[in-house]
Chains A and B, each alone.
Chain A
Amino acid sequence: MHIVDGALSNPVVIGGAVAAAGGIALGLRALPLERIPAAGVLSAAFFVASLIHVPIGPSSVHLILNGLAGLILGWAAFPTLFVGLLLQAVFFGFGGVTVLGINTVNIALPAVLVGLAFRPLIPRSGPAMAALLGGVAGALAIALTTLGVAVSLMLTGQEFLTAAHLIFVAHLPVIALEGLLTGFAVLLARKVKPDLFTALQGTGT
């Protein structure tokens, strides 16, 4: 899911950086210092969760879980996922420097959108319904991310058109998997600790 340096055209890279800066600023406004510990520990949790490899057929994929991040964190998912990507780039070498902005937008914007749409519904519905909504949110977020990556490539040039198509098709199983896992994660969290979805709430802009 990471785009590397040098692949995208300058307008896409600059547009991505500007959009990311705006999203991070909005997200930080939703985070008073009182809520930094909650957001910080959850950010670490998402970082660790993204290293889990889940088998799928003969291969395995690692999770992104941006849908779940949006459901739990709302707007705060933007700076949180940015921090994760920054640490991954610096210490693991995944991604790049100039593309950090566009990568953040592609992963965090779907998270925030899904959060805005589904987060208020989760605490109100029963566990089974919450799990279903969570599953839809998880699948939708990753689908939008894949779409974002494809669009960033297509905006760069015609030569990436085939790659963009293939990336989307290749990610269809991942979309289903993320949806399924997010659904089960929401089911458990909704039963064990319903506060999880409201802990950072009342802070959205």
Chain B
Amino acid sequence: MAHVLSNGDTVLTDTGAEHSASRLGALDPRVRILAALAFAITTVALDTLPALSAALATALSLLALSRLPAMPTLKRVAMMDGFILFMLALLPFTVPGDAIFTLWGYPATWQGLARAIEIGLTANAVVLTLMTLVGTMEPVTLGHALYRLKTPETLVHLMMFTIRYIEVLRQEYLRLRAAMKVRGFRPGTNWHSYRSFGYLVGMMMVRAIERSERVLGAMKCRGFSGRIRLLHDFRTTRADALFAITLTAILLALIALDLTWR
């Protein structure tokens, strides 16, 4: 689904590395979701730099195992780093402690630097694992797996509808933008641009609700009775058990490492 960010023309059914015969792709989606969750909670609980570095190393090895194209994935993670860089850069100056150097009268401290690195490592490790374990799933599979993990049915249906229509509405958005472009619209910082963008958003909402009326009509026509069935069934195998045991061992090792360095 990542193509939504770039302007690639992949369709929703083509996403995910499920088709590539990767080791992780063969695992039960439920196991992958739970593994990502366990990894996230453990990593957030870690406090020391060696343990957090080990966590990031684990995430990178998972990325290698998943056969996900490494460069685009790392680039996406770097994009997130761009967002938080500002906050991290401030930390050395706001955490009290021993000064490294002084900038315009504000001392930067070792403690603050350590805190910034800790946050950076945690965020990267967790997001990377999430993208390799869960982000490689077919979006529809994710919905089914969440349902099997006892997520409320209504929420799963809402998610499935969202997944289904993101690509459809993105195409509609691109059509509207193309229509604006042929009429000479060039976005800038001015009243006209903002009014045009506002109308664009309003039009997208109007078209979305009208589309949903047609969808509901079509569903009723085919006997929609207020229940939607989710057909996917999953089976855990020995590979899943092996993966779960390995990951648990790694997480315990991370916690042990954290406690010895504290």
B21 at the interface (CB under 8 A from A): no
Q: Across the interface, which residues of B come within 8 angstroms of A37, CB to CB?
A: 161, 212, 215-216, 219
Chain A, 27-46, CB within 8 A of any chain B CB: 28, 31-34, 36-45
Q: How far is the CB of A154 from chain B (nearest CB, A)?
A: 12
B251 at the interface (CB under 8 A from A): no
Q: Of the 9-residue stretches A84-92, A101-109, A111-119, A139-147, which lies at the interface with chain B? A: A84-92
Chain B, 191-220, CB within 8 A of any chain A CB: 193-195, 197-213, 215-216, 219
Most chain A CB within 10 A, of B79, B170, B194, B203, is at B194
With contact pairs A36-B161, A48-B166 given, residues A90 and B44 touching in the complex (Cβ less than 8 Å):
no
Bound form: Cα–Cα A129–B14 in Å: 46
With contact pairs A24-B155, A97-B40, A159-B94 given, residues A90 and B142 touching in the complex (Cβ less than 8 Å):
yes
B33 — nearest CB in chain A belongs to which residue? A90
Chain A, 156-173, CB within 8 A of any chain B CB: 158-163, 166-167
Q: Across the interface, which residues of B come within 8 angstroms of A11, CB to CB?
A: none
Q: Across the interface, which residues of A come within 8 angstroms of B91, CB to CB?
A: 159, 163
Q: Evaluate contact between B219 and A96: CB separation under 8 angstroms.
A: no
Bound form: Cα–Cα A119–B85 in Å: 37
Partner of A40, one of B36, B44, B164, B210: B164
With contact pairs A5-B40, A52-B173 given, residues A182 and B198 touching in the complex (Cβ less than 8 Å):
yes
Q: Across the interface, which residues of B come within 8 angstroms of A87, CB to CB?
A: 1, 139, 159, 162-163, 166
B57 at the interface (CB under 8 A from A): no
B52 — nearest CB in chain A belongs to which residue? A6
Q: How far is the CB of B1 from chain A (nearest CB, A)?
A: 4
Chain B window 17-43, contacts with chain A (Cβ cutoff 8 Å), 1 for yes, 0 for no: 000000000000000000011001101
Most chain A CB within 10 A, of B5, B155, B187, is at B155
Q: Which residues of B contact A (CB under 8 A)?
A: 1-2, 4-5, 15, 36-37, 40-41, 43-44, 76-77, 79-80, 83-84, 86-87, 90-91, 93-96, 112, 115, 118-119, 121-123, 126-128, 130-131, 134-135, 139, 142, 152, 154-155, 157-166, 168-170, 173, 187-189, 193-195, 197-213, 215-216, 219, 226-228
Q: Which residues of A contact B (CB under 8 A)?
A: 2, 4-7, 13, 24-25, 28, 31-34, 36-45, 47-49, 51-52, 54-57, 63, 65, 68, 72, 79-80, 82-84, 86-87, 89-94, 96-98, 158-163, 166-167, 177, 180-189, 192-193, 195-196, 199
Given contacts A44-B163, A177-B194, 5 further A-B pairs with CB under 8 A are A2-B80, A38-B209, A45-B207, A89-B130, A91-B2
